[in-house]
Amino acid sequence: AGNLMKGKRGLVMGVANKNSIAWGIAQQLAAQGAELAFSYQGEELEKRVRPLVESLPGEPFMVTADVTDDASMDACFEALKKKWGKMDFLVHAIAFAGKDELQGSFTHNTTREGFKRAMDVSAFSFVDAAKRASAMMPSREEGGGAMISMTYLGSERVVPNYNVMGVAKAALEASTRYIARDLGPLGIRVNAISAGPMRTLAMAGISGGRTLMKTGKDWSMLKEDTRMEGVAGAALYLLSDLGHSCTGEVLHVDAGFHAVGVPDIGEEG
């Protein structure tokens, strides 16, 4: 525990259960004194999210928000404004693509509807949330604000089965940079964390997820799975004052996997 986030309030979007990356990040931020609000996708998730949220210190609160629904987003941010007036940071850890599209041929399996939906939930939602959250952030003189989104290497390189989600993540990363430029003059920093494969609900939707996890470890520089504490630590860095001067960045936290050109080839016999 520490106080790197003391006096800062923020919204965490995307906790579905205890394995969610958003939850790992939230616990780290809370341990550093942040005051948190959580948005969750819909009523079915409430019973899983509530006990987690209630286990945190302070008075975290919950509000439902479906990012594809403007009215739901309006209500979420109205509730935040009413409760807090201002907020200092935003965590966006939301993505979705249909199971049918997370397998086989990207070219043949991607439908117009599926493409739009992946883009809407996984990329546009960050643009929308950034617009809404930045309107509540303190002025530059008062300290500005910070936001992060979660991405994956499938945006930069071809990863089997990641398909339309890779395209959506490319859009998310580009959006992160454009938002960072718009909000920079306001003293708001905007970054993305590119995490290696982690065992979550979203990961379970990707065909061959287990192989992806294994390869992510075996071919990584550190020869280990991506650890939640590393991802949460990166979030803490980017969202706290430690992250001053860092914006428009995609920070890889994946045990070095992203920089490997060729996996180990052993000794020539």
Residue span binding ligand NAD (CB under 6 A) among the ranges 52-60, 136-144, 194-202, 242-250: 194-202
Q: How many CB atoms lie within 10 A of CB 201?
A: 10
182 interacts with ligand NAD by CB under 6 A: no
Picking from 104, 220, 124, 110, the residue whose alpha carbon sits closest to that of residue 169 is: 124
| Residues paired with 250 in a beta bridge | 192
Sheet holding 61-64, edge to edge: 61-64, 35-40, 9-13, 89-92, 145-151, 188-195, 250-253
Q: Are 151 and 172 within 8 A, CB to CB?
A: yes
Residue span binding ligand NAD (CB under 6 A) among the ranges 9-17, 135-143, 174-182, 255-263: 9-17
What minimum distance in Å lies between the beta carbon of 207 and ligand NAD? 14
CA distance 72 to 74: 5
- What is the contact mask toward ligand NAD in residues 48 to 67, using x (rule: CB under 6 A)? -----------------xxx
Picking from 80, 78, 38, the residue whose alpha carbon sits closest to that of residue 60 is: 38
Residue span binding ligand NAD (CB under 6 A) among the ranges 73-81, 90-98, 134-142, 260-268: 90-98
Residue ranges in 244-263 that form contacts with ligand NAD under rule CB under 6 A: none
Is 152 catalytic? The answer is: yes
Q: Identify the residue among 52, 150, 180, 250 touching ligand NAD (CB under 6 A).
A: 150
Give the residue with the Cβ less far from ligand NAD, 144 or 249.
249
Question: What kind and span of H or E run contains 217?
Answer: helix 209-218
- Identify each DSSP E strand in the chain by its residue range: 9-13, 35-40, 61-64, 89-92, 145-151, 188-195, 250-253
Q: Identify the residue among 16, 62, 90, 235 touching ligand NAD (CB under 6 A).
A: 16
Q: Identify the residue among 201, 221, 242, 260 touching ligand NAD (CB under 6 A).
A: 201
Which residues contact ligand NAD by CB under 6 A? 14-16, 20-22, 41, 45, 65-68, 93-96, 121, 150-152, 195, 197-198, 200-203
